[in-house]
């Protein structure tokens, strides 16, 4: 590489590094009249932003995983409802609400597993129906509600981090934590759920190292979790998904913390594909296995994990990386995006209300979810 190209690449890297060091990562930002999203499909090599100005653009951003992570797509969808409301050209309240339902239906169809998406959309629609006054008044309240959902998610993640810190094993003093996929600032409005626990442990000097599963097929661990950790100087080692049991056997892992996209009333938790197998090997090695997620991720309307819809994505994610085809022509592919970890394999679910045994979710949190 010639000196000029090296210098240009270095200063490009340094501008990105300095930005993220000076400011926490916020992947969703409301700016005057539009939403700015970090384009997570371009990380870790490029930090780029996408401007979203209508509900259809937001729906596409969610579908294509420009924005991803259950809490993050809930926040994004809330803004999507507002953007759709802004573009409805009628002053008639009944007609406005009818068209708003169509906006909501389009956004609901983007990702079927993450319950935060449905929670946020339902909250926005409920606000629209309950707001008195003109259509303009409804639009104003919808924007206020979306911004409240955004701010609340950041605060919730910080509380999850604090509660997670309080229940970490007392020994060793410096812990080695394994995580799967990305449940960090990029997957939320900021700070993160599983990585929120990691951040709190790092700040409290309780963390030695993060082990990040690469998380095939989209590599969110290798690309996104590793990127977040590097930005903050948190020691991180990326391993392939099939190395976890080996690392546990060698005594390299003290606990596992993952996020969730939907949790059933009995504590069964849907998360990125590969989480279930990780919980099994953690159980085999007597290693605590925690799920970190906000109350909005718990779906008390379903009894157990068998009722959680599992998204299946394009098979090209399995057989192709970039422009490289990995498999021979004629092979067939199966690409579920999530699996369900049974409640009995989960040590505790860490929420903004504390760390709770899966069997106690309904008794302790169901009433709070209705507020």
Active-site residues, by number, are: 261
How far apart, in whole angstroms, are the C-alpha atoms of residue 242 and residue 315?
20
Please check whether residue 181 is in contact with residue 215, taking contact to mean a CB–CB distance below 8 angstroms: yes
Taking the CB of residue 67, how many other CB atoms lie within 10 A of it?
26
| Exposed / middle / buried, residue 36 (Cβ in 10 Å: 0-12, 13-18, 19+) | middle
- Per the listing, tokens 């590094």 go with 17
Please check whether residue 79 is in contact with residue 30, taking contact to mean a CB–CB distance below 8 angstroms: yes
Please check whether residue 98 is in contact with residue 104, taking contact to mean a CB–CB distance below 8 angstroms: no
Label residue 233 left, alpha or beta by phi (over 0 means left) and psi (-120 to 50 means alpha).
Answer: left
Label residue 311 left, alpha or beta by phi (over 0 means left) and psi (-120 to 50 means alpha).
Answer: beta
Taking the CB of residue 223, how many other CB atoms lie within 10 A of it?
21
- Cα–Cα–Cα angle for 60, 65, 66, rounded to 5 degrees: 80
**Residue 22 belongs to what H/E stretch?**
helix 3-22
Pairing of strands 49-52, 236-239: unpaired
Intra-chain end-to-end CA distance of the chain, in Å: 59
Encoding tokens for residue 356?
A: 């709770």
Packing angle, helices 70-87 and 115-130, rounded to 10: 30
Q: Which residues pair with 211 in a beta bridge?
A: 178, 237
């Amino acid at each position: 590489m010639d000196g000029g190209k090296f210098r240009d690449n270095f200063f490009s890297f340094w501008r990105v590094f300095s930005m993220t060091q000076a400011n926490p990562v916020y992947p969703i930002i409301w700016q005057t009249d539009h939403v700015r999203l970090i384009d997570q499909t371009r990380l870790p090599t490029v930090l780029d932003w996408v401007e979203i100005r209508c509900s259809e653009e937001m729906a596409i951003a969610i579908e294509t995983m420009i924005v991803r992570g259950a809490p993050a797509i809930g926040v994004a969808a809330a803004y999507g409802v507002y953007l759709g409301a802004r573009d409805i050209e009628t002053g008639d309240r009944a007609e406005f609400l009818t068209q708003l339902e169509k906006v909501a239906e389009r956004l609901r169809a983007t990702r079927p597993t993450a319950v935060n998406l449905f929670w946020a959309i339902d909250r926005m629609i409920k606000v629209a129906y309950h707001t008195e006054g003109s259509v303009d008044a409804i639009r104003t309240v919808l924007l206020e509600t979306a911004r409240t959902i955004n701010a609340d998610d950041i605060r919730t993640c910080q509380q999850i981090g604090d509660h997670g810190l309080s229940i970490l094993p007392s020994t060793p003093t410096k812990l080695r934590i394994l995580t799967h996929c990305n449940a960090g600032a990029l997957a939320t409005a900021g700070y993160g759920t599983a990585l929120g626990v990691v951040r709190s442990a790092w700040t409290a000097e309780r963390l030695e190292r993060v082990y990040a599963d690469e998380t095939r097929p989209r590599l969110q661990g290798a690309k996104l979790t590793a990127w977040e950790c590097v930005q903050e100087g948190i020691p991180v080692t990326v391993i392939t998904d099939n190395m976890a049991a080996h690392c546990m056997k060698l005594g390299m892992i003290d606990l596992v913390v993952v996020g969730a996209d939907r949790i059933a009333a009995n504590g069964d938790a849907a998360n990125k594909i590969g989480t279930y197998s990780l919980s099994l090997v953690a159980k085999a090695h007597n290693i605590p296995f925690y799920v970190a997620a906000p109350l909005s991720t718990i779906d008390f309307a379903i009894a157990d994990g068998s009722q959680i819809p599992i998204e299946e994505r394009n098979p090209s994610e399995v057989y192709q990386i970039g422009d490289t085809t990995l498999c021979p022509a004629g092979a067939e592919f199966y690409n579920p995006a999530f699996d369900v970890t049974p409640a009995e394999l989960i040590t505790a679910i860490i929420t903004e209300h504390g760390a709770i045994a899966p069997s106690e979710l309904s008794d302790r949190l169901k009433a709070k979810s209705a507020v």
